[in-house]
Structure 1
Amino acid sequence: MLIAPEALWTAGRLRRGMALEARDGIVTGVRALGADTPDARPALVMPMAVDLQVNGGGGVMVNSDPTPDGLRVIAAAHRGLGTGAILPTVITDTAEVMHEAVSAAIEVAGEPGQLGLHIEGPHLAPSRRGTHKPEYIRPLDETTVAEVERLRAAGVAVMITLAPERAQPDLLARLVASGAVVSAGHSAADAAEAQAGFDAGVSCVTHLYNAMEPMTSRAPGLLGRALVSPVHVGIIADGIHVAWDMIRVALRARPAPGLTFAVSDAMATVGGPDSFILYGQEIRVRDGALVNAEGSLAGAHIDMLTSLANLVREVGVDLSEAVAMCTDTPRAVLGLAPEAVTAGTRLDDILILNDRFERERPE
């Protein structure tokens, strides 16, 4: 079979006029198409998406099933929707739930789709907690630092979201020294506090705009400081958490390309039923949004392939930038190189998409 996409994203580049030779579901070569007649002409071929904030999927939440099998179900659900690698995300909960999630992440380390663990909370600003349960929220403590160090000692990648103004400098320094990606989020930090966090090694910002102080002309806060700083930022591209115009503003304000990436912030409903239980409350999909009993947004009901389509079709992002936001940039946050489509790649491990960003299976 000869597959000639209009565009091929591989090894950090968008290439045109290329063809993939495939046999028995395996790419056997990548070359210029030339004058050959292809068997299939998809719009885009690319590696599977990468998502650094996945609270759940397939009917399972990390918090409700912080076990190896729970993490496997979540990864499988997202793989079925085009995301090949995830950071399962445990949100604010008891120390016991965090401990179980850490142990599960260590057990599944190296398995397909498992990149490590994202710990979101409980060290958040109470005023910016969102759906996180208030009674578990507390300043950064030794317990969490020790869990992160346990993950890193096992060679597991870690992202930890915290409010930098709620972190003692010595404990924050230990997180940074461990090699964890420390991300500012659910924070009431002003610009000076945000900058102090960046200077101390905070290198990322969690779901930009959401769960942080609004930016004003004299109070840029974490949001304004993040926009103009050379740190990575994640953003939810569902048109619900962030309006399309505000995504455009963010991308134009960034100091360099390759610093902004898409996250799903997906919950159990992605690839699963339309409701689930969190903290004893029912969370349900309503008009495309997930809301709790308080009426607060409770994560997102979106996958990364839909995020990619939204970035291109709704926001107007250039195809190269949009694909990178869903693949290479999140990998770079974890220090991973871009993936390549090359001889030996399984067709099941890449995305073959039509012009509506829907998956196709060449026959």
Structure 2
Amino acid sequence: MTLRVNGKVVTPTGVIRQGCVEVRGDRITAVAEYPSIRDGHWIVPGFVDIHTHGGGGHTFTTGDAESARAAAAYHLNHGTTSLLASLVSAPFELMRSATTAFAPLVRQDVLAGIHFEGPYLSAARCGAQNPEFLRDPSIDELTELLKLGEGTVRMVTLAPELTGAIEAIGLLTGQGVVAAVGHTDATYEQTCAAVAAGASVGTHLFNGMRPVHHRDPGPAVALLTAPNVFCELVADGVHLHEGTLTFAVATAGPERCALVTDAMAAAGMPDGEYELGGQAVTVADGQARLADGTIAGSTLTMDAALRHAVAVGMPVPDAVRMVSTTPALAVGLGDRVGALTAGLRADLVVLDDELNVVRVMRAGEWVR
């Protein structure tokens, strides 16, 4: 049986104003123009969040499988049909147990992969990462995690200036794992060396990084100007000034800028007290911070990130690319999801004119 979803269809090449997405089973079979259609809803590909720590009161950071299922379900209702479960800096035993717990969820397609944000990060730029657990990259640890994950570890964020980082990047990329640069005090030159070694993602660009200076451009400039690097951006109006957000997109283009949530368990929850990586987090007015004021993730969802990008002046097709197509490509999922293209999994989001979620389809099934 063929299912047809009608509206203003956002494709990789533009908008079909009177369009239709045809779905059979869990696949998109056709995307076409149908002049008789008058439904005004936006039809966009399911969102792909490559950096999220939790949501709806549930977290990925403890390595609990049921909590991970619930967090993924929360974000699914906001249009995120594919996400990586992002861990924070932790003891190696927790990294091992989380990999063991989450690998079956990846194989069951609940998660799109595992992302280790740390513990191989700079103490000087650790942000809300727990400094107690920071350490230099360990080839032995990474080798064991990759073996345990059996292909489910998809990305690792590290600081390239640390001892052993370049070797670690080589190991990761040699095993098909994305190496990301983040929480780093690296110089421009050290960052370029990491890119040359195979690093291909900048983790929440500008945040947790040596700041830009005209005589010391640092990692952000190196990552923005590297043609083979995808740059994560947290578009919540807190992590980045709108001028910084639009500058980054103007520099790297929507083809290399991936909007992410960096959400923690407090996303979708009331203000109050929460925890992240063993540290107390206070959420007030929707902003998550440590006691010293350091930003501690976000309470963002991908649909809200899309709306924010459009509100600061980005065309809808560009914003959609940054929440779906670009992040999918960044972590090697572009041949499965991230676009309304025949042959890909039937993941789509129906949005009203204010870009609020009306319905979500995942693998050809409407989400209840």
> Scaled by the length of structure 1, what TM-score is found?
0.89
- In the alignment, which residue of structure 1 is the partner of 2:90? 93
Listed as ranges, the matches of 1:305-344 within 5 Å are: 305-314=303-312, 316-336=313-333, 337=335, 338-340=338-340
2:163 equivalent to 1:162 = no
Cα distance, 1:111 vs. partner?
A: 2.5
Cα distance, 1:350 vs. partner?
A: 2.1
- Is this contact kept in 1: 2:12–2:321, CA < 8 A? no
Per-residue Cα deviation, 1:47-80 (whole angstroms, up to 9, x for no partner): 210000011112122223x132222111111001
- Is this contact kept in 1: 2:16–2:33, CA < 8 A? no
- In the alignment, which residue of structure 1 is the partner of 2:45? 47
Listed as ranges, the matches of 1:115-154 within 5 Å are: 115-150=112-147, 154=150
Once residues 267 and 101 of structure 2 are traced to their aligned partners in structure 1, the CA distance between those partners, rounded to angstroms, is 21
Cα distance, 1:11 vs. partner?
A: 5.4
- Is this contact kept in 2: 1:47–1:341, CA < 8 A? no
- Is this contact kept in 1: 2:115–2:156, CA < 8 A? yes
Cα distance, 1:33 vs. partner?
A: 2.3
- Is this contact kept in 1: 2:205–2:220, CA < 8 A? yes
> Scaled by the length of structure 2, what TM-score is found?
0.87
SS at structure 2 position matched to 1:164: coil
- Is this contact kept in 1: 2:9–2:43, CA < 8 A? yes
Tell me how many residue pairs correspond in the alignment. Answer: 352
Once residues 113 and 205 of structure 1 are traced to their aligned partners in structure 2, the CA distance between those partners, rounded to angstroms, is 25
Cα distance, 1:96 vs. partner?
A: 1.2
- In the alignment, which residue of structure 1 is the partner of 2:206? 209
- In the alignment, which residue of structure 1 is the partner of 2:249? 251
2:113 equivalent to 1:112 = no
- Is this contact kept in 2: 1:213–1:222, CA < 8 A? yes
Listed as ranges, the matches of 1:1-363 within 5 Å are: 4-5=6-7, 7-10=8-11, 13-20=14-21, 30-34=31-35, 36=36, 38=38, 40-42=39-41, 44-64=42-62, 66-150=63-147, 154-168=150-164, 169-230=166-227, 231-254=229-252, 257-274=254-271, 275-314=273-312, 316-336=313-333, 337=335, 338-340=338-340, 349-361=347-359
CA RMSD of aligned residues (A): 2.7
User: Mean alpha-carbon deviation: is it higher for 173-182 or for 124-133?
Assistant: 173-182
User: CA 1:344 to 1:265, structure 2 compared with 1: closer, same or farther past 3 Å?
Assistant: closer
User: CA 1:360 to 1:222, structure 2 compared with 1: closer, same or farther past 3 Å?
Assistant: same
User: CA 1:248 to 1:279, structure 2 compared with 1: closer, same or farther past 3 Å?
Assistant: closer
Once residues 4 and 197 of structure 2 are traced to their aligned partners in structure 1, the CA distance between those partners, rounded to angstroms, is 51
Once residues 55 and 172 of structure 2 are traced to their aligned partners in structure 1, the CA distance between those partners, rounded to angstroms, is 28
User: Mean alpha-carbon deviation: is it higher for 297-306 or for 316-325?
Assistant: 316-325
Once residues 176 and 111 of structure 2 are traced to their aligned partners in structure 1, the CA distance between those partners, rounded to angstroms, is 18
Once residues 195 and 28 of structure 2 are traced to their aligned partners in structure 1, the CA distance between those partners, rounded to angstroms, is 43
Once residues 103 and 250 of structure 1 are traced to their aligned partners in structure 2, the CA distance between those partners, rounded to angstroms, is 37
Cα distance, 1:17 vs. partner?
A: 2.2
Once residues 226 and 208 of structure 1 are traced to their aligned partners in structure 2, the CA distance between those partners, rounded to angstroms, is 8
Once residues 200 and 349 of structure 2 are traced to their aligned partners in structure 1, the CA distance between those partners, rounded to angstroms, is 30
Per-residue Cα deviation, 1:216-240 (whole angstroms, up to 9, x for no partner): 1111010111121111110100110
- Is this contact kept in 1: 2:49–2:83, CA < 8 A? yes
Which 5+ residue runs of structure 1 have no aligned equivalent? Answer: none
Cα distance, 1:144 vs. partner?
A: 3.0
SS at structure 2 position matched to 1:87: strand
SS at structure 2 position matched to 1:261: strand
Once residues 70 and 190 of structure 1 are traced to their aligned partners in structure 2, the CA distance between those partners, rounded to angstroms, is 38
Q: Percent identity?
A: 30
Cα distance, 1:172 vs. partner?
A: 3.0
Which 5+ residue runs of structure 2 have no aligned equivalent? Answer: 361-368
